[in-house]
Amino acid sequence: MQTHVLPVDAERPELKVISKAAGILRRGGLVAFPTETVYGLGANALDEAAVQRIFAAKGRPATNPVIVHVADIASARDLVAEWPEQAERLAERFWPGPLTLVLPKIDLVPNMVTAGASTVALRVPAHPVALALLQAAQFPIAAPSANCSTALSPTRAEHVLYGLDGLIDLVLDAGPVPGGLESTVIDLTVKPPRILRPGLVTPAELEAAIGTVLRPRAHAWADSSEPKKSPGMLERHYAPRTPLEGVAGNSVERVRELSTQGLRVGWIAFSDVAKQGATATVVRILPADPGACAKELYAVLHELDAAGLDRIVVALPPATEEWLAVRDRLRRAATCFADGNGFED
């Protein structure tokens, strides 16, 4: 299959381009499109065969459910058996935006979408291209991140092509996305609600809207149902091919140690000060603000992964709640995550 790439205006998407993409989706095809978080790989959520194609293209295990994108609150309500008060408050406050609500589904939603679960994950994305596509399609769009299963999520159209060129029909290229990290996923079928995946909407923001929410279970990775490969091995997801180490404290020393062994090391730090005494082959400095860092994180990881390095060392940001999502993604990207008190599992 040839994958077409169509440029599209990120602010005012051209009707012609959007109609073409909606037509492909209507006929059961796959279209990668920008959302405000990452690029998604879309299919008609109500067409089981089309959704099956998403799983095949990504190599995604059938046990991992996908998010369903809808145009507005009314379309979300059409797909669920219950719409609790908390859903209304969160949707009013955060949609369109990077928050995904898990709610009891109705039969119309195919089991393939939810991996057999009785719940469905829903969100209204804030990107003009995603919204225009949903409006043109007139059906909900199932869309996981547009990367091969377990690989880094795409924040640009080029990243989508790294893994999926030749496997999907179309990529809508609107340039880099504004958010950079996947949405926060919250389960509203339990009391109190539980965050399944931290993201751009923080626990504090959720609690300001609906009261107590439970934090993600430590080490219970919502994205994977595969058994751990061996004790002490981290579940790799959102991962570059190059082995990545997260280091708290003195990452300078770790970089020096690896460089001395003759390894080509990429170093990601959060302050220019870290450059002092750097022996790394490539150094990238990320902003010391969680939101600004999220926006650049995957692009930097993609870049270093393509640089022919032996190792990527990341100086970990502080273990505070505002860094929860960034640390979560780094933990999943890492082959080794040394957080001060030895290695975390």
CA torsion, ordered 227, 233, 238, 243, to nearest 10 deg: -140
Question: Which among Mg ion, ligand TXA, none contacts residue 114 (Cβ within 5 to 8 A by kind)?
Answer: ligand TXA
**114 belongs to the binding site for Mg ion (CB under 5 A):** no
Largest CA distance in the chain: 60
Q: How many CB atoms lie within 10 A of CB 122?
A: 27
* Residues forming beta bridges with residue 94, ordered by sequence position: none
**184 belongs to the binding site for Mg ion (CB under 5 A):** no
Question: Which among ligand TXA, Mg ion, none contacts residue 183 (Cβ within 5 to 8 A by kind)?
Answer: ligand TXA
Q: Is the dihedral of CA 164, 167, 173, 178 positive or negative?
A: negative
Q: Which of 61, 294, 266, 302 is nearest to 161 (CA)?
A: 302
- Between helix 324-333 and helix 290-305 the angle, nearest 10°, is 20
**111 belongs to the binding site for ligand TXA (CB under 6 A):** no
* Residues forming beta bridges with residue 311, ordered by sequence position: 265
Residues 133-152 that bind Mg ion (CB under 5 A): 145
**259 belongs to the binding site for ligand TXA (CB under 6 A):** no
Which is closer to ligand TXA, CB of 157 or CB of 265? 157
Which is closer to ligand TXA, CB of 227 or CB of 231? 227
Minimum distance from residue 201 beta carbon to ligand TXA (Å): 11
Residues 124-183 that bind ligand TXA (CB under 6 A): 125, 143-145, 182-183
**202 belongs to the binding site for ligand TXA (CB under 6 A):** no
Minimum distance from residue 35 beta carbon to ligand TXA (Å): 5
Minimum distance from residue 226 beta carbon to ligand TXA (Å): 12
- Between helix 128-137 and helix 15-26 the angle, nearest 10°, is 50
Q: How many CB atoms lie within 10 A of CB 92?
A: 10
**242 belongs to the binding site for Mg ion (CB under 5 A):** no
**197 belongs to the binding site for ligand TXA (CB under 6 A):** yes
Stretch that binds ligand TXA, among 115-123, 133-141, 256-264, 268-276 (CB under 6 A): 115-123
Which is closer to Mg ion, CB of 35 or CB of 145? 145
Residues 42-71 that bind ligand TXA (CB under 6 A): 64-67
Kindly write out the interface string for residues 271-290 of this chain, putting x where it contacts ligand TXA by CB under 6 A and - elsewhere: --------------------
Which is closer to ligand TXA, CB of 34 or CB of 246? 34
Residue owning tokens 């095809």: 29
User: 3-state secondary structure string, 61-104?
Assistant: CCCCCCCEECCCHHHHHCCECCCCHHHHHHHHHHCCCCEEEEEE
**In which order are the strands placed within the sheet that holds 194-197?**
4-7, 170-173, 31-34, 39-44, 141-142, 68-69, 119-123, 99-104, 184-187, 194-197
Interface residues with ligand TXA (CB under 6 A) are: 35, 37-38, 40, 64-67, 98, 100, 102, 114, 117, 119-121, 125, 143-145, 182-183, 185, 196-197, 222-223
